[in-house]
Amino acid sequence: MEIHHIPALRNPIMVMAFSGWNDAGAAATGAVEHLLSAWHNQADDVVPQLIADIESEDFYDFQVNRPHIYVDESKIRNISWPTTQIFGLALPEYSRDLVIVKGTEPSMRWKSFTRELLDLADDLEVSLIIALGSMLADVPHSRPITVSGSSTHPDLAARLGMEVSRYEGPTGILGIISDGCMRRGIDALSLWAAIPHYASSSPSPKATLSLVNSLEDYLDISIPLADLSEAADEWERDVTEMAKEDSDVAEYVKALEDTKDAAELPDVSGDTIAKEFERYLRRRSKD
């Protein structure tokens, strides 16, 4: 890992996402990319600072994640290597700052990768790690994108009103990092957005928006949305038009909608409505 700059951060929270297996529809990486630019047009002093990047040669198979050639503004050819970058983001309006981790899921040596990343989290005195992911699921695109939150630690899950993760099966780098956090005693949680598998082509801004909204709820902050809401609406309209062109897909979507509506109807309560109304008012205040 190459350290570029260690900023002064206040009780920081680390938010991370990796492209690849954990990132259906590029929703999770889209969320961290949004965080890196969200405040730029509103406050000149809220600028991400590159803290470190992780050495590509140590963790990536370049036949799996190939480097890209690009031409810069001076018409000089350069190579962009797959890597993971860590940024600091100071938020003067809030009591805590952010550490943003954005990268490509490593191809190998996951234990060493996790150790390096969590060593840096310890050095930065990170108090909480939030992993963002997105997965394909049997859900309709025309309903709110579900974001499920879980933690591997029962005490933290109880404090946040989350489920304790009971998943068993293959995992990605997020699962390895969550396990490393538990072993070190670092509070960690995961937020996963469910992407309709019939509309999984990247990007999925509606799922990115749901992850950003969930971060607002868990961190109790207001994140500028810029044009993310409009992009989410446009994505939904495009998928609706695509579904109409195939009668089988249209029937399948209708069945998913009916199932989703029937499952959620019994859960509607006064408390649920009040919470949703509070979220609505908070997000309207940002417009």
- How many domains does the chain divide into? 1
Q: Given the structure tokens 């909204």, which residue do they identify?
A: 213
User: Residue 244: pLDDT band by 50, 70, 90 thresholds?
Assistant: confident
Which pair of tokens denotes residue 225?
């949305």
Residue 280 pLDDT: 52
Q: Is 253 helix (H, G, I), strand (E, B) or coil?
A: helix
Buried b (16+ CB within 10 A) or exposed e, 42-58: eeeebebeebbbbebee
CATH code for position 264: 3.40.50.10900
Which residues constitute the domain of residue 39?
2-284
Lowest-pLDDT range of 53-57, 107-111, 114-118, 152-156: 152-156
β-pairing verdict for 163-164 and 98-104: unpaired
Rounded Cα–Cα distance for residues 116 and 72 (Å): 31
User: Residue 282: pLDDT band by 50, 70, 90 thresholds?
Assistant: low
* pLDDT of 23 over the 80 cut: yes
Shortest CA distance to 110 belongs to which of 59, 34, 166?
59
Residue positions counted in the chain: 287
* pLDDT of 272 over the 70 cut: no
Mean pLDDT estimate for the chain: 87
**What pTM was computed for the model?**
0.85
